[in-house]
A and B are shown apart, each in its own frame.
Chain A
């Protein structure tokens, strides 16, 4: 029997599976919060979840709805502030993995979370960088969440909020970065990764029931589809943990499967 599950559930689990046990996980709002919380509860119990606000390793008995939610301050090893959090994000001893969402992404994983249209008179204004630019610059690696459509997967960003692999190849190193960069993009269709040499995005995993052609049609730039593998569907245990322990009110998961 196949289990029913939603795209949001698949996305949170697909991203959470990429965390290694022992990683230091930096979570933003929304799905990234779910991914970090579910990773900690299933795949990576020895990992530490922390927030840019300064909450370090909360119990997460209830799901925070923002990085300043009082739920990130409860049962922590330390409650601090932004400067302490950013010293952890960029710490040379730590493998910090950041989970982030964005409004637009290009083929080299550069992201926009600032605006659509002209910066001074935007058609749509988004909240802005927050810690996104910092995570893209300072973290060991970043896992990005995106809804997959041609308005969001674009040839050219309206505004570059967070630097990914820039123009690809060695561009990131040449720009002055000593580590980091996006490692994967998790969407409602599958998981994209970046070519080791060119740093260009390719389709790495397709969710069950999704065709590679859908990814091509939903992407505003040329995407290599030849390396795609099938993602394994959520297990019963993963879904139970996500639904019963991580987000029982479905605050971020949204509507249950039909």
Chain B
């Protein structure tokens, strides 16, 4: 077996990873996109530990965002979209928290958030773009003047500037970089040293990870580094960017993980009901977060029949014929 320089094992429990790397008030980038590859095991661990005042940053997030907002872990959000497909056209706890004034939100578009993470990943102060002129995204700041320029909140939301390279007068919109404290990623495969392989769409997980100061990866399978190095074209992140590797089978449930399982329509429909009120949502948290200290406990609660129902077909990558109503 050839030796590689990946270093010591970064494998640890979800509790150890969250305890070591996520603190009250941190800016946290959530990986995944609406119904796919949300870092749910990690999100439940954050909720269980009662971490407070998080500042979430994401492009389009669904389940992990809503759980963290509903559990009271989140103080502010920079986001493009809070929804979960047909299961929650607008994320339910998110909607209620915003309408009740319990959450500070600053809106961007998906492309704008993508460029902000890319700027952070490239260690650039900002990125130009042509999306957003004349919109209220440009005009309305979610965070008040007392917060601007404090901590990781930029002094301006976006700035319209002249394109210095154009012969005709042309405008560009400048977007401030994002450098989260922590990025959470759920992947299909990782090795103990932290090499990561994501199957299916990567969304913006890789830019988010490169922009962050710390990276926690949960994964369906921990595989030998030599296995990942046999086909490095398929790999997504180098080991030295990753701080923790958490083995979490079904770690994106109830969202999907391509080639492993589909999203769980029964759970997501049940969630929609439970998230509709503060009392019923406390019941949801008691049952699915508090009463399940480990991923094994959680999976026992979901039950083998539901897990088998959403198991992915290896050709399609999802569960063909799954009743998704």
- Is B83's beta carbon under 8 Å from chain A? yes
Category for how many chain A residues contact B: 35 or more
Chain B 155-183 against A: per-residue CB contact (8 Å), 1 yes, 0 no?
00000000000000011000000000000
Q: Count A-B contacts at CB 8 Å.
A: 203
CA–CA, A115 and B203, complex, Å: 26
CA–CA, A236 and B24, complex, Å: 59
CA–CA, A123 and B96, complex, Å: 10
Contacting pair A175 B134 (CB below 8 A): yes
Given contacts A122-B98, A128-B82, A161-B137, whether A68 and B110 have CB atoms under 8 Å apart is no
Chain A 104-126 against B: per-residue CB contact (8 Å), 1 yes, 0 no?
00000000001100011111111
Contacting pair B207 A83 (CB below 8 A): yes
Given contacts A69-B36, A133-B137, A138-B130, whether A54 and B201 have CB atoms under 8 Å apart is yes
Question: Which of the segments B47-55, B101-109, B238-246, B284-292 contacts the partner chain?
Answer: B101-109
Residues of A within 8 A of B202 (CB): 54, 79-81
Contacting pair A127 B201 (CB below 8 A): no
Category for how many chain B residues contact A: 35 or more
Contacting pair B94 A134 (CB below 8 A): no
Tell me if A's interface is mostly helix, strand, loop or mixed.
loop
- Is B73's beta carbon under 8 Å from chain A? no
- Is A47's beta carbon under 8 Å from chain B? no
CA–CA, A178 and B108, complex, Å: 21
Q: Which residue from chain B places its CB closest to the CB of A73 in the assembled complex?
A: B200
Question: Which of the segments B145-153, B223-231, B274-282, B315-323 contacts the partner chain?
Answer: B315-323
Contacting pair B99 A124 (CB below 8 A): yes
Given contacts A83-B207, A137-B132, A166-B134, whether A130 and B110 have CB atoms under 8 Å apart is yes
Choose from A68, A122, A130, A160 the contact partner of B99 (Cβ within 8 Å).
A122
Residues of B within 8 A of A166 (CB): 134
Chain B 201-214 against A: per-residue CB contact (8 Å), 1 yes, 0 no?
11111110000000
Contacting pair B35 A68 (CB below 8 A): yes
Q: Which residue from chain B places its CB closest to the CB of A133 in the assembled complex?
A: B109
Choose from B34, B99, B133 the contact partner of A66 (Cβ within 8 Å).
B34
